[in-house]
Amino acid sequence: MTAAFNSIVVVDWSAPDRRPSDAVRIGVAGQCEEAPGAFPTREAALDWLVGRLVAAHAAGRRALVGFDFPFGCATGLAEALTGEASAQALWEHLAEWSGDGPERAAQDEHGLAGRRIVEARVLSDQPGGTLFAAGPAGERVLTGLSALVALRRDPALAGAIAVWPFETGLARGDKPIMLAEVYPSLLRTASAEGAIRDEEQVREAARALAALDREGALAPLFLGPPDLDAGERERVVREEGWILGVGHEAALRAAARPAVPPLRNDCFAMPPGVDWVPVAAALAKLREGLSPVAAPETLPLGAAGGRILAEPVVARRSHPPGPNAAVDGYGFAHAALGASPHVLPLAEGRAAAGVPYPGEVPPGQAIRILTGAPLPVGVDTVVLEEDVARDGGVIRFARGLRRGANTRAGGEDVEAGAEILPAGHRLRPQDLALAAATGLGSLPVRRRLRVAVLSTGDEVVAPGAAAAVHQVHDANRPMLLEVLRRWDFEAVDLGHARDDPEALAAALDRGAGAADALLTSGGASAGDEDHMAALLRRRGVLETWRIAVKPGRPLALGLWEGRPVFGLPGNPVAAFVCALVFARPALLRLAGAPWQRPRGFTVPAGFEKDKKAGRVEYLRARLTEEGAAEVFRSEGSGRVSGLVWAEGLVELDTEARRIRPGDPVRYLPFPEFGL
């Protein structure tokens, strides 16, 4: 895929002083990555940048340049200063009088909102900076905007530069040189001991943007987050601007990390000399050898349900955002209460959740307040409406109240900046509610894992097709496809392949191109007629595990074109049990979830059985009305009706020998396997 830009430049516009760590740092990546440049002054950095851009433009190359200062301002400021609600007008206005010195920093006395929409989405001590901060912070923005104007005015670059999103809209634009606001701290780059943090940040930011560009995944960042409404988009394009990457943090951070490493060819290999593999050892080997392969993406809350989080989620705002009333009643200052009974005159007006009280409640007075309303100034306690007698403009109540009664403290549920959901968590409805309540409109999730299903064997025919006595209908494929859908994976149907090496190879090739992992059934035992195992051994990677388990002893694990292949037994019951016990936790790990083990509980046995020691057995089971586990009448792997009859599995561990009615056994209900 062709990248949109030949080079990507990220500039840290910090104020330089005599310390080397405070030089202006510039990182370059793309078709030719360079070591970060360090410049003693902003003027020197700008001279270098102009020279590079002029040369690139003359050679017909495209460049994206990111600066770490805000290009825009909070809505209303540009019009207040220039008479025009336009970021471009503000740039020209400020360029006429700003200079490279702290004495030029403006003061925050303008009375207008100081935060842009984008800054409410970035948690940091100084999100994006501000035009009206005192000292170096304000100076950085003013001198930065002057540099922006200088680049746009340079005659050698005339007509070649566009500033995103003011001159492009929320799109990439078609000018050969694009200027955009960036915030390298979005990447959360960890600095090595002794390293210069600014240098590492600009290098990693440039690399991440270049990596996205190479994959054709940079364009969505120019669209902004999907949850901006039309009014917000208009403000962003006209006056406020946006930080490139905000709303797409998961993709940006994933690009900054090394690519998801392919699974090692020996990820399924058991130590030499191992013959029968215990179930616990098989699960431990899967857990150790597998890592997430599903790529991250950012989705709005409405589309994120059921997805697995790609990284921890942090609250953007406190919940509740401030102190409020927990009941309908009357609010007042607790210090104003005298001896009981209490009598308080009512102030005019009321406070409601959507209509806060605009003024201050005078000492010694009360205000009508409704549940959820922010506590007005002068109120710290609320008396319940049912405990009050109202007489005209006066309320009376006798009940003693502690200070703060019937109120909620700001952040008592969640504080801004707190981690609210861990990486690997599958999003439930209540998780979306918490994310929304704490100010989030989108979440970093992983793409749904794509799993392909292939049935093999000359004896297998399609469901519903005419079958001879020596043939069986394909029960495994529809079963496994539906199991995958229940696990919230994207199921890919590869159909059926004959016992022919070329047909099997073609099917595996299709699966490797369409999916992240493959489930096959049949051909797992490496016997004379098990062509799948033979093909994986010859042209891919194969490990055949003889697991000490019943049903499902042969389990083939391998790689085909870098995709993990789980070769399940051909008998439907064995395929079903192996899918639940082995494939499910492995696939969830590939999808980005933590390793999962089904939770069971101990119940009395409602059956009698003599079992061989040294292997784990799974019996189709269900609970009686008395709470005992009864098992299906036959343990045969071909008895599909037993799967319908059962509501779970009884797990008998390796040490179990004789089970008699009333003995404790472990019962695993099917819902614990996601069914």
pLDDT of residue 503: 86
Map 373-386 to HEC letters.
CECCECCCEEEEHH
Token readout for 305 is 């349900």
Q: Which fold has domain 450-591?
A: Molybdenum Cofactor Biosythetic Enzyme; Chain A (3.40.980)
Q: What pLDDT is stored for residue 529 in this prediction?
A: 47
**pLDDT class for 164, splitting at 50, 70, 90?**
very high
Q: What is the mean predicted confidence (pLDDT) over 413-420? A: 90
Q: What is the pLDDT of residues 74-88, one digit of tens each?
A: 888 878 888 888 888
Residues in the chain: 675
Residue 413, phi then psi, degrees to nearest 5: -85, -55
Q: How far apart are CA 202 and CA 357, in angstroms?
A: 47
HEC assignment per residue over 627-673: CCEEECCCCCCCCCHHHHHCCEEEEECCCCCEECCCCEEEEEEHHHH
Helix (H) or strand (E) holding 26: strand 24-30
CA distance 207 to 8: 8
Q: Which band of pLDDT confidence, cut at 50, 70 and 90, is reported for residue 587?
A: very high
Is pLDDT larger for residue 48 or for residue 415? 415
Second-level CATH architecture of 601-673: Beta Barrel (2.40)
Q: What token pair was written down for 131?
A: 């035009």
Q: Which of 43-52, 148-157, 457-466, 483-492 has the lowest mean pLDDT?
A: 457-466
pLDDT digits (tens, 9 = 90+) for 348-363: 999 999 899 998 999 9
Q: Is the pLDDT of residue 364 over 60?
A: yes
pLDDT tens digit sequence for 204-257: 888 889 888 887 888 899 998 888 888 889 999 998 899 998 888 878 877 775
| CATH architecture, domain 288-315+416-446 | Alpha-Beta Complex (3.90)
**CB-based contact 166:73 (threshold 8 Å):** no
Angle (deg, nearest 10), helices 584-591 and 279-289: 10
Sign (positive or negative) of CA dihedral 608, 612, 614, 617: negative
If residue 51 lies in a helix (H) or strand (E), which one and from where to where? helix 42-58
Report the candidate in 494, 491, 643 with the shortest Cα–Cα distance to residue 578: 643
Whether the pLDDT of residue 268 is over 70: the answer is: no
Q: Assess contact for 394 and 346: CB atoms under 8 A.
A: yes
| Confidence at 329, pLDDT banded by 50, 70, 90 | very high
pLDDT tens for residues 562-577? 788 888 888 888 889 8
Record the pTM: 0.63
Amino acid at 114: G
> Which of 450 and 563 is assigned the larger pLDDT?
450
Give me 418's structure tokens. 């707190």
The fold of 324-408 is Molybdopterin biosynthesis moeA protein; domain 3 (2.170.190)
**Mean pLDDT, residues 101-112 taken together:** 42
pLDDT at 114: 61
State the SS3 of 372-432: CCECCECCCEEEEHHHCEEECCEEEECCCCCCCCCEECCCCCECCCCEEECCCCECCHHHH
Strands 450-456 and 517-521: parallel
Higher pLDDT, 244 or 265: 244
Residue 562: per-residue pLDDT: 79
Inter-residue contact 343 to 395 (CB < 8 Å): yes
Q: Given pLDDT bands bounded at 50, 70 and 90, which one contains residue 132?
A: low
Tokens of 469: 């006595």
Tell me the β-bridge partners of 38: 25
How does strand 329-332 pair with strand 366-369? antiparallel
- Please check the confidence at residue 597 and state whether its pLDDT lies above 50: yes
pLDDT over 90 percentage in the chain: 31
Coil, strand, or helix at residue 461? Answer: strand
- Peptide bond preceding 341: is omega within 30 degrees of 0, i.e. cis? yes
- pLDDT of 105 reads 38
Quote the CA–CA distance of 521 and 500 in Å, as a whole number: 15
The mean-pLDDT minimum among 152-161, 187-196, 274-283, 625-634 falls in 187-196
The letter for the amino acid at 192 is A
Nearest CA-CA partner of 663 in 628, 620, 631? 628
Closest CA to 642 of 664, 670, 609: 670
Q: Is residue 370 predicted with pLDDT exceeding 90?
A: yes
SS3 493: strand
User: Residues 651, 616: contact at Cβ < 8 Å?
Assistant: yes
Rounded Cα distance, 540 and 547, in Å: 21
3-state secondary structure at position 122: coil
Gap between the Cα atoms of 474 and 462, Å rounded: 5
Q: What are phi and psi of 454, to 5 degrees?
A: -130, 130
SS3 of 324-359: EECCCEEEECHHHCCCCCEEEEEEEEEECCCCCCCC
